[in-house]
Amino acid sequence: MEIAALIISLLTFLFAWRVYTKHDKRLKIQEARINEYQLRKIQEESESLTRAIIDADLFKGQKGARKLIISNKGKAVGRNIIVSIPETKGLHILGVPKAFSLNPGKSLEINMALSYDHPEHVEIKLEWEDDARSNNSLIHPIYL
């Protein structure tokens, strides 16, 4: 009888040990996934702190007047920003700076005037530098 109780106790111990190791393995896999996610999130945040996100929006005014707003939506300073607007018939650009910088959350306004035979849209090219890369570019269609 004592041998049967010993065998039952031993089997119970082995079963409990197996359940424990299986559960521990699952926890370690889950912890590794959580750590990987946290590291990736920290890396993405640090990259976003060094990137400038330059964007362009067009606002319509009265009688063919347009305002092109170049803004920095990123968290880093955008340097040497160059706005390339193709010269087209019917579109008159009033003062585009050669190269400029924009702090995060700031913007620059470019005034434009349209005449009767202006095109439906124009593709502008934005080029800039930031802390992450030195040759960022974006081709942005602007519907007039």
Kindly report the pTM of this predicted structure. 0.66
pLDDT at residue 23, rounded to an integer: 93
- Greater confidence, 48 or 122? 122
Instruction: Enumerate the domain spans of the chain.
Output: 1-48, 54-143
Mean of pLDDT values over 118-122: 79
Query: Which candidate, 77, 88, 32, places its Cα nearest to that of 52?
Result: 77
Given a cut of 80, is residue 118 above it in pLDDT? no
Mean of pLDDT values over 60-79: 84
Given a cut of 90, is residue 31 above it in pLDDT? yes
pLDDT at residue 79, rounded to an integer: 84
Identify the three-state secondary structure at position 111.
Answer: strand
Helix (H) or strand (E) run with residue 5 in it: helix 2-48
Structural class in CATH, domain 54-143: mainly beta
At position 102, the amino acid (one-letter code) is L
